[in-house]
Structure 1
Amino acid sequence: MLLGLSQEELGKVLGLTSQQIQKYEAGETRISASRLYDLAEHLAVPITWFFEELGDKRRMAPPASKEGERANVTELLARREARQLVELYYGIEDEQLRKKVLEVAELLSRPAKD
């Protein structure tokens, strides 16, 4: 339900049963490339979104420079973890508390001092 659709809703959009969606999620049924493409289109995510948990460590590296920053942001937001973090962050109703969470994240992301 991360992208706001239940299995039943997604099934209706794709013309499938919720059981078929469940089988795809569980890996019980293989999904064709064309069906995967359709799914990515309906979810408005890049096709690579479905493969991000395969362990490609190169994608986890921070950008080397500011050049190409827009592409890097797009790549980051294609990750489930990043979208989940954004959803959780905006789920915090108290604006001051959200700012504090952001401050903590900024502190934690700073390089360690020697």
Structure 2
Amino acid sequence: MGGRRFDEFDRQIGQLVKARRLSKGISQGELGQILGLTEHEIQNYESGSKSISASRLAQISEALDVPVTFFYDDTEGYSGLEAGHVPADPAQMLKTILGLRLLRAFHNLQDHSMREHLVRLAEQMSANAVSTGKQGRSDPKTAS
């Protein structure tokens, strides 16, 4: 296996760290403080420019309240955490930044009728996208 494959793997793991950190509402600086690292080191891990060792990933998983396997599930052959990729399994959307943003927005709506309205709106948009053949396309500027 070439270096490029491992670079992509590091990037995917880093994006999962970022997605989970954001879902917990923790800043890079706060995560760094918990782990005894600088904000810059967290940025390097999340961008994939620096590999995360197994022991460091165990510390990160503990700080983010997920099992270590969270960062490895579905990484084989799955390179779609970036904008524009729609995972085949809807549950995988929770591993994307956009999916987590949507879930957080829905969760923050306390009014049941507003939640119902949001679901109907999403269903209408989805049906329209399917009927016009535009499903799976997105604007990368709004996805992260």
TM tier, smaller: 0.5 to 0.7
C-alpha separation between the residues in 1 aligned to 2:35 and 2:121? 41
Identity of aligned residues (%): 35
| Range 44-53 or range 90-99, more displaced | 44-53
* Corresponding residue of 1:54: 79
Deviation by residue 1:48-81 (Cα, 9 ceiling, x = unmatched): 379496239xx9334xxxxxxxxx85x6544544
Answer yes or no: is the 8 Å Cα contact 1:92–1:98 preserved in 2.
yes
State the TM-score, normalizing by the size of structure 1.
Answer: 0.61
C-alpha separation between the residues in 1 aligned to 2:75 and 2:44? 17
**Structure with more contact order per residue of length (Cα contacts < 8 Å, sep ≥ 6):** 2
* Corresponding residue of 1:20: 41
Q: 1:96 aligns with which of 85, 107, 113?
A: 113
Query: CA 1:92 to 1:85, structure 2 compared with 1: closer, same or farther past 3 Å?
Result: same
Cα deviation, residue 34, structure 1: 2.0
- What is the one-letter code of the residue matched to 1:82? G
C-alpha separation between the residues in 1 aligned to 2:74 and 2:41? 17
Cα deviation, residue 31, structure 1: 1.6
Structure 1 residue 35 and structure 2 residue 35: aligned? Answer: no
Runs (5+) with no aligned partner, structure 1: 63-71
- What is the one-letter code of the residue matched to 2:79? L
Structure 1 residue 85 and structure 2 residue 113: aligned? Answer: no
State the TM-score, normalizing by the size of structure 2.
Answer: 0.51
| Range 83-92 or range 6-15, more displaced | 83-92
Deviation by residue 1:8-28 (Cα, 9 ceiling, x = unmatched): 110111111112112222333
Task: Tell me the number of residue pairs that the alignment of Structure 1 and Structure 2 aligns.
Answer: 100
Runs (5+) with no aligned partner, structure 2: 1-20, 132-144
C-alpha separation between the residues in 1 aligned to 2:98 and 2:125? 17
C-alpha separation between the residues in 2 aligned to 1:28 and 1:77? 23
